[in-house]
Structure 1
Amino acid sequence: MRSGERGSLAIEAALVTPVILLLFTVTMIAGKVQQTQASIEAAARAGARAGSLDRHPEVKTVHDTATDAVNAWLSTAGVSCGNERIDVTTGTLDVPAPGKPMNTVVVNVNCEVSMSDLSPLRVPGSVKLIGGFRSVVDLYRG
């Protein structure tokens, strides 16, 4: 090693290490956002399925059943929403089918998640995640 190059490795490491740590942190945040998005979509799926299996076809009961299922799923997944909105609607499927019309339950979940919950560091702000699902009402639900 020549005498003019002494300490150059330490300087290179000091310059490169923060960039590598930043990339690692951004990758972790992106993965956590994706995981939380999947949990919100799964909660919407669980809510729509629970609403479609509800034995009481009144809209109020279907709404309560679907909302309870969504909240239970989000709680189990450890997702804490700051500004949560759960929209439950019922309708019919627009396809020609013989016999009875096919009723549906649609659940949309809007969830605002704090960036501090998604990051190992204190990051200000929040991200809005949306998930939705449509489930056909089971004719043989009992």
Structure 2
Amino acid sequence: MNWDDRGSEAIQAAIVTPLMIMFLCMALAAGRVVTAGSKVDAAAEDAAREASISRTAGSAQDHAYAAANETLADQGLKCSGTTVSVDVSGLNAPLGTVGTVTATVTCTVPLSDLMLPGAPGSHTLSSTFTSAVDAYRERD
């Protein structure tokens, strides 16, 4: 070992270690966002399906909201903000006509607990799903 190189390993470690930690945190954030995206997709699908089997347009929103929140809870996703909007115009289709119900679920996923410098504190994900209404189901 050359005496002129003393301490160079410590300096290299001091430079590389924070970069490796930041890379790990970025990978965790990306994984959280990708996983949350699939969970929000499942919630939108469940919300649309529950709304499409509702008897009235008024109850469709309530059923969709409950289904989306239950799915997100079952999936273990904790959103700092959740909205569910439902287009229930397909429930008013005349008997014998297939209508559709569309649900959109928006979830704000917190990222601040990762302590990644310069990263946003949260990321908002949104998913939309359309479900068919049975053409011959009873209508109110």
TM-score normalised by the chain length of structure 2 = 0.80
SS of the residue corresponding to residue 84 of structure 2 reads strand
Pairwise mapping of residues 52-131 of structure 1 onto structure 2 (< 5 A)? 52-54=52-54, 56=55, 58-92=56-90, 100-116=96-112, 119-121=113-115, 125-131=121-127
Q: Is the 8 A contact 1:90 1:103 kept in 2?
A: no
**Equivalent position amino acid for 1:100 in 2:** G
CA contact (8 A) 2:84 2:103 kept: yes
CA deviation after TM superposition for structure 1 residue 64, in Å: 1.7
CA contact (8 A) 1:113 1:129 kept: yes
**Residues 32-89 of structure 1: CA distance to partner in whole angstroms, max 9, x if unpaired?**
01111221111001111122233x2x10122222111111011112223333221011
| Residue 19 (structure 1) aligned with residue 19 (structure 2) | yes
Which residue pairs with 1:96 in the alignment?
Answer: none
The list of structure 1 runs, each at least 4 consecutive aligned residues, that deviate by more than 6 angstroms after superposition, is: none
Q: Tell me the TM-score normalized by structure 1.
A: 0.79
Q: How many residues align?
A: 132
Query: Root-mean-square deviation (CA), in Å?
Result: 2.4
Greater alpha carbon shift after TM alignment, 75-84 vs 60-69: 75-84
Q: Counterparts of 1:128 and 1:110 in 2: how far apart (Å)? A: 7
Report percent identity of matched pairs: 33
Shift of 1:139: 4.3
- Structure 2 alignment gaps of length 5 or more: none
* Distance change in 2, residues 1:100/1:140 (3 Å): closer
**Which whole-Å CA distance do the structure 1 matches of 2:2 and 2:122 have between them?**
51
How many angstroms apart in 2 are the aligned matches of 1:108 and 1:43? 9
Distance 1:10 1:90, change over 3 A: same
Separation (CA, whole Å) in 2 of partners of 1:8 and 1:102: 73
- Preserved contact between residue 88 and residue 107 of structure 1 (Cα < 8 Å): yes
> Structure 1 66/132 Cα, relative in aligned 2: closer, same or farther at 3 Å?
same
* Aligned mates of 1:14, 1:138 — CA distance in 2: 64
CA distance in 2, matches of 1:12, 1:113: 35
